[in-house]
Amino acid sequence: MSPLITATDLASTLGEVTLLDVRWRLGGPSGPSEFAAGHIPGAVYCDLDTALAAPAGAGGRHPLPSAEAFEASMRALGVSDERPVVVYDDWNSLAAARAWWCLRYFGHRDVRVLDGGLRAWTGELSKDASSVAPGDFTARPGGMPLIDADQAAILAEDGLLLDARAPERYRGEVEPVDPVAGHIPGAVNAPTTENLEPGGRFHQPEFLRERFNTLGAVEGIPVGAYCGSGVTAAHEVLALETAGIRASLYAGSWSEWITNPARPVEKS
Protein backbone atom coordinates (compact mmCIF):
# COMPACT_ATOMS: atom_id res chain seq x y z
CA MET A 1 0.00 0.00 0.00
CA SER A 2 1.29 3.43 -0.90
CA PRO A 3 2.11 5.70 2.05
CA LEU A 4 0.25 8.46 0.20
CA ILE A 5 -3.45 9.08 -0.37
CA THR A 6 -5.07 11.42 -2.88
CA ALA A 7 -7.58 14.08 -1.89
CA THR A 8 -10.21 12.27 -3.95
CA ASP A 9 -9.68 9.01 -2.09
CA LEU A 10 -9.67 10.79 1.25
CA ALA A 11 -12.96 12.49 0.46
CA SER A 12 -14.57 9.11 -0.16
CA THR A 13 -13.33 7.66 3.14
CA LEU A 14 -13.57 10.62 5.53
CA GLY A 15 -15.81 8.84 8.01
CA GLU A 16 -13.64 5.74 8.03
CA VAL A 17 -10.27 7.21 9.04
CA THR A 18 -8.75 9.15 11.91
CA LEU A 19 -7.65 12.42 10.35
CA LEU A 20 -4.83 14.41 11.93
CA ASP A 21 -4.06 18.03 10.99
CA VAL A 22 -0.33 18.49 11.66
CA ARG A 23 0.12 22.08 10.53
CA TRP A 24 3.44 23.36 11.82
CA ARG A 25 6.41 25.09 10.30
CA LEU A 26 9.71 26.39 11.57
CA GLY A 27 9.15 30.03 12.48
CA GLY A 28 5.74 29.97 10.82
CA PRO A 29 2.20 30.81 11.94
CA SER A 30 0.48 29.07 14.83
CA GLY A 31 -0.86 25.66 13.83
CA PRO A 32 -3.77 25.71 16.30
CA SER A 33 -4.96 29.12 15.05
CA GLU A 34 -4.77 27.98 11.44
CA PHE A 35 -6.66 24.82 12.35
CA ALA A 36 -9.39 26.89 14.04
CA ALA A 37 -9.68 29.08 10.95
CA GLY A 38 -10.45 26.08 8.75
CA HIS A 39 -9.62 22.39 8.50
CA ILE A 40 -10.73 19.29 6.66
CA PRO A 41 -14.01 18.13 8.25
CA GLY A 42 -13.46 15.61 11.02
CA ALA A 43 -9.77 16.43 11.49
CA VAL A 44 -8.15 16.73 14.92
CA TYR A 45 -5.18 18.99 15.51
CA CYS A 46 -1.89 17.22 16.29
CA ASP A 47 0.87 19.43 17.70
CA LEU A 48 4.30 18.43 16.45
CA ASP A 49 6.21 19.94 19.37
CA THR A 50 4.21 18.17 22.08
CA ALA A 51 2.79 15.02 20.45
CA LEU A 52 5.54 14.10 18.00
CA ALA A 53 8.62 15.15 19.93
CA ALA A 54 10.09 15.23 23.41
CA PRO A 55 11.44 18.50 24.82
CA ALA A 56 14.60 19.78 23.11
CA GLY A 57 17.89 18.88 24.75
CA ALA A 58 20.88 16.62 24.28
CA GLY A 59 18.84 14.56 21.81
CA GLY A 60 18.41 17.51 19.46
CA ARG A 61 15.67 20.04 18.79
CA HIS A 62 12.97 17.42 18.21
CA PRO A 63 13.93 14.18 19.99
CA LEU A 64 11.55 11.27 19.62
CA PRO A 65 8.91 11.07 22.36
CA SER A 66 8.91 8.08 24.66
CA ALA A 67 6.58 5.23 23.77
CA GLU A 68 4.43 6.04 26.81
CA ALA A 69 4.12 9.73 25.93
CA PHE A 70 3.41 9.04 22.27
CA GLU A 71 0.79 6.44 23.08
CA ALA A 72 -0.98 8.84 25.44
CA SER A 73 -0.95 11.64 22.86
CA MET A 74 -2.28 9.45 20.08
CA ARG A 75 -5.03 7.98 22.24
CA ALA A 76 -6.12 11.50 23.21
CA LEU A 77 -6.36 12.31 19.49
CA GLY A 78 -8.59 9.29 18.88
CA VAL A 79 -5.99 7.05 17.23
CA SER A 80 -6.77 3.34 17.43
CA ASP A 81 -4.79 0.33 16.30
CA GLU A 82 -7.32 -0.99 13.80
CA ARG A 83 -8.53 2.32 12.34
CA PRO A 84 -6.59 3.85 9.41
CA VAL A 85 -4.92 7.21 9.99
CA VAL A 86 -4.42 10.01 7.47
CA VAL A 87 -2.19 13.00 8.23
CA TYR A 88 -1.81 16.31 6.43
CA ASP A 89 -0.32 19.79 6.73
CA ASP A 90 0.19 22.87 4.55
CA TRP A 91 4.01 22.79 4.58
CA ASN A 92 4.79 20.46 1.68
CA SER A 93 3.98 17.44 3.90
CA LEU A 94 7.09 17.98 6.04
CA ALA A 95 5.31 17.95 9.41
CA ALA A 96 2.83 15.35 8.17
CA ALA A 97 5.75 13.10 7.24
CA ARG A 98 7.00 13.32 10.83
CA ALA A 99 3.57 12.18 12.05
CA TRP A 100 3.53 9.37 9.48
CA TRP A 101 6.98 8.20 10.52
CA CYS A 102 6.26 8.34 14.26
CA LEU A 103 3.04 6.38 13.89
CA ARG A 104 4.74 3.78 11.72
CA TYR A 105 7.74 3.56 14.02
CA PHE A 106 5.52 3.05 17.05
CA GLY A 107 3.65 0.26 15.32
CA HIS A 108 0.58 1.60 13.52
CA ARG A 109 0.18 -0.42 10.33
CA ASP A 110 -2.10 1.83 8.26
CA VAL A 111 -0.95 5.44 8.03
CA ARG A 112 -0.98 7.63 4.93
CA VAL A 113 -0.07 11.21 4.08
CA LEU A 114 -2.46 13.39 2.07
CA ASP A 115 -0.51 13.92 -1.15
CA GLY A 116 -0.31 17.63 -1.82
CA GLY A 117 -1.45 18.55 1.67
CA LEU A 118 -4.25 20.94 2.45
CA ARG A 119 -3.99 22.76 -0.88
CA ALA A 120 -4.87 19.51 -2.68
CA TRP A 121 -8.18 19.43 -0.80
CA THR A 122 -10.95 20.94 -2.93
CA GLY A 123 -13.84 20.30 -0.55
CA GLU A 124 -15.20 22.65 2.06
CA LEU A 125 -13.29 23.39 5.25
CA SER A 126 -14.78 23.25 8.71
CA LYS A 127 -14.31 25.56 11.69
CA ASP A 128 -16.03 23.20 14.08
CA ALA A 129 -14.13 21.61 16.93
CA SER A 130 -14.07 17.87 16.34
CA SER A 131 -15.36 15.67 19.13
CA VAL A 132 -12.87 12.90 19.81
CA ALA A 133 -13.48 9.55 21.45
CA PRO A 134 -10.29 8.24 23.07
CA GLY A 135 -8.44 5.71 20.96
CA ASP A 136 -6.84 2.43 21.93
CA PHE A 137 -3.51 2.80 20.13
CA THR A 138 -0.67 0.82 21.69
CA ALA A 139 2.86 2.08 21.01
CA ARG A 140 5.24 -0.68 19.94
CA PRO A 141 8.62 0.83 18.99
CA GLY A 142 10.56 -0.65 16.10
CA GLY A 143 8.14 -0.45 13.20
CA MET A 144 10.59 1.63 11.13
CA PRO A 145 14.41 1.52 11.14
CA LEU A 146 16.02 4.07 13.45
CA ILE A 147 19.70 4.92 13.84
CA ASP A 148 21.72 6.93 16.34
CA ALA A 149 24.72 9.22 15.79
CA ASP A 150 27.31 6.43 15.81
CA GLN A 151 25.31 4.38 13.33
CA ALA A 152 24.81 7.46 11.13
CA ALA A 153 28.58 7.97 11.00
CA ILE A 154 29.10 4.35 9.96
CA LEU A 155 26.34 4.57 7.36
CA ALA A 156 27.96 7.67 5.83
CA GLU A 157 31.09 5.59 5.24
CA ASP A 158 29.71 2.14 4.44
CA GLY A 159 26.30 2.93 2.97
CA LEU A 160 24.38 6.03 1.94
CA LEU A 161 23.47 8.78 4.40
CA LEU A 162 21.26 11.46 2.85
CA ASP A 163 21.21 15.01 4.20
CA ALA A 164 17.72 16.35 3.52
CA ARG A 165 18.49 20.02 4.17
CA ALA A 166 18.88 22.84 1.64
CA PRO A 167 22.20 22.78 -0.24
CA GLU A 168 23.53 25.96 1.39
CA ARG A 169 22.98 24.49 4.86
CA TYR A 170 24.58 21.20 3.81
CA ARG A 171 27.64 23.05 2.49
CA GLY A 172 27.88 25.08 5.69
CA GLU A 173 27.50 28.42 3.94
CA VAL A 174 24.60 29.44 6.18
CA GLU A 175 23.02 28.01 9.31
CA PRO A 176 19.86 29.84 10.38
CA VAL A 177 18.88 27.49 13.21
CA ASP A 178 21.73 25.49 14.73
CA PRO A 179 24.90 26.92 16.31
CA VAL A 180 27.28 24.97 14.05
CA ALA A 181 27.19 24.86 10.25
CA GLY A 182 28.16 21.97 8.00
CA HIS A 183 27.23 18.32 7.57
CA ILE A 184 28.14 14.82 8.71
CA PRO A 185 31.28 13.74 6.82
CA GLY A 186 30.43 11.48 3.92
CA ALA A 187 26.75 12.43 3.79
CA VAL A 188 25.18 13.14 0.40
CA ASN A 189 22.89 16.15 -0.04
CA ALA A 190 19.35 15.31 -1.16
CA PRO A 191 17.06 18.33 -0.50
CA THR A 192 13.45 17.40 0.25
CA THR A 193 12.27 20.07 -2.18
CA GLU A 194 13.32 17.73 -4.99
CA ASN A 195 10.88 15.07 -3.78
CA LEU A 196 7.94 17.18 -4.92
CA GLU A 197 6.31 18.38 -8.10
CA PRO A 198 5.72 22.16 -8.44
CA GLY A 199 2.18 21.81 -7.06
CA GLY A 200 3.38 20.17 -3.86
CA ARG A 201 2.54 16.56 -4.65
CA PHE A 202 5.19 13.87 -4.51
CA HIS A 203 6.82 12.86 -7.75
CA GLN A 204 5.76 9.52 -9.15
CA PRO A 205 7.48 6.46 -7.63
CA GLU A 206 9.48 5.82 -10.79
CA PHE A 207 10.83 9.37 -10.78
CA LEU A 208 11.77 9.15 -7.10
CA ARG A 209 13.38 5.75 -7.57
CA GLU A 210 15.57 7.10 -10.36
CA ARG A 211 16.44 10.14 -8.26
CA PHE A 212 17.59 8.10 -5.30
CA ASN A 213 19.30 5.50 -7.46
CA THR A 214 21.36 8.31 -8.98
CA LEU A 215 22.35 9.43 -5.48
CA GLY A 216 23.56 5.93 -4.66
CA ALA A 217 20.48 4.20 -3.22
CA VAL A 218 20.89 0.96 -5.12
CA GLU A 219 20.20 -2.62 -4.19
CA GLY A 220 22.40 -3.90 -1.39
CA ILE A 221 23.33 -0.46 -0.07
CA PRO A 222 21.82 0.52 3.32
CA VAL A 223 20.24 3.98 3.26
CA GLY A 224 19.56 6.51 6.00
CA ALA A 225 18.50 10.15 6.22
CA TYR A 226 18.94 13.09 8.55
CA CYS A 227 18.20 16.82 8.54
CA GLY A 228 18.31 19.57 11.14
CA SER A 229 16.11 18.01 13.81
CA GLY A 230 14.55 14.87 12.34
CA VAL A 231 11.46 16.49 10.81
CA THR A 232 12.31 17.04 7.15
CA ALA A 233 14.37 13.83 7.14
CA ALA A 234 11.10 11.96 7.75
CA HIS A 235 9.95 13.49 4.45
CA GLU A 236 13.02 11.96 2.80
CA VAL A 237 12.22 8.58 4.32
CA LEU A 238 8.63 8.94 3.09
CA ALA A 239 9.81 9.71 -0.45
CA LEU A 240 12.17 6.75 -0.33
CA GLU A 241 9.34 4.53 0.90
CA THR A 242 7.18 5.77 -1.98
CA ALA A 243 10.00 4.74 -4.32
CA GLY A 244 10.13 1.29 -2.76
CA ILE A 245 13.35 1.93 -0.80
CA ARG A 246 13.36 1.30 2.95
CA ALA A 247 15.55 3.81 4.80
CA SER A 248 16.59 4.50 8.38
CA LEU A 249 15.99 7.80 10.14
CA TYR A 250 18.60 9.51 12.26
CA ALA A 251 16.02 11.22 14.44
CA GLY A 252 18.46 13.36 16.43
CA SER A 253 19.94 14.65 13.17
CA TRP A 254 22.31 17.60 12.92
CA SER A 255 21.01 19.33 16.07
CA GLU A 256 22.04 16.27 18.10
CA TRP A 257 25.22 15.54 16.14
CA ILE A 258 26.76 18.89 17.05
CA THR A 259 26.09 18.52 20.80
CA ASN A 260 29.24 16.38 20.96
CA PRO A 261 32.28 18.48 19.93
CA ALA A 262 34.24 15.29 19.26
CA ARG A 263 32.04 14.51 16.27
CA PRO A 264 33.57 15.75 13.02
CA VAL A 265 31.97 18.46 10.89
CA GLU A 266 32.49 18.80 7.17
CA LYS A 267 31.93 21.86 4.98
CA SER A 268 31.98 21.81 1.22
Q: Where are the domains of the chain?
A: 4-120, 146-257
Angle at 183 between CA 223 and CA 246, to 5 degrees: 15
SS3 250: strand
| 12 close to 38: Cβ distance less than 8 angstroms | no
Residue 92 contacts residue 117 (beta carbons within 8 Å): yes
Q: Respond yes or no: is residue 46 known to be catalytic.
A: no
CATH C-level class of 146-257 = alpha beta
> Taking the C-alpha atoms of 7, 9, 10 and 16 in order, what is their torsion angle to the nearest 10 degrees?
180
Angle at 112 between CA 107 and CA 36, to 5 degrees: 105
1: confidence class by pLDDT, cuts 50, 70, 90: confident
Q: Which residue in the list 227, 231, 233, 245 is annotated as catalytic?
A: 227
pLDDT exceeds 90 at position 89: yes
4-120 and 146-257 agree in CATH topology:
yes
What digits encode the pLDDT tens for the residues 32-71? 999 999 999 999 999 999 999 999 999 999 999 999 999 9
In a 3-state reduction of DSSP, which class is residue 154?
helix
Quick: pLDDT tens for 159-193.
999 999 999 999 999 999 999 999 999 999 999 99
Q: Is the whole-model pTM more than 0.85?
A: yes
- Burial readout 211-240 (b: 16 or more C-beta within 10 A, e: otherwise): bbeeeebeeeebbbbbbbbbbbbbbbbbbb
What pLDDT digit, counting tens, does each position of 92-129 carry?
Answer: 999 999 999 999 999 999 999 999 999 999 999 999 98
| Domain range 4-120, its CATH number among 3.90.1300.10, 3.40.250.10, 3.10.20.70, 3.40.50.720 | 3.40.250.10
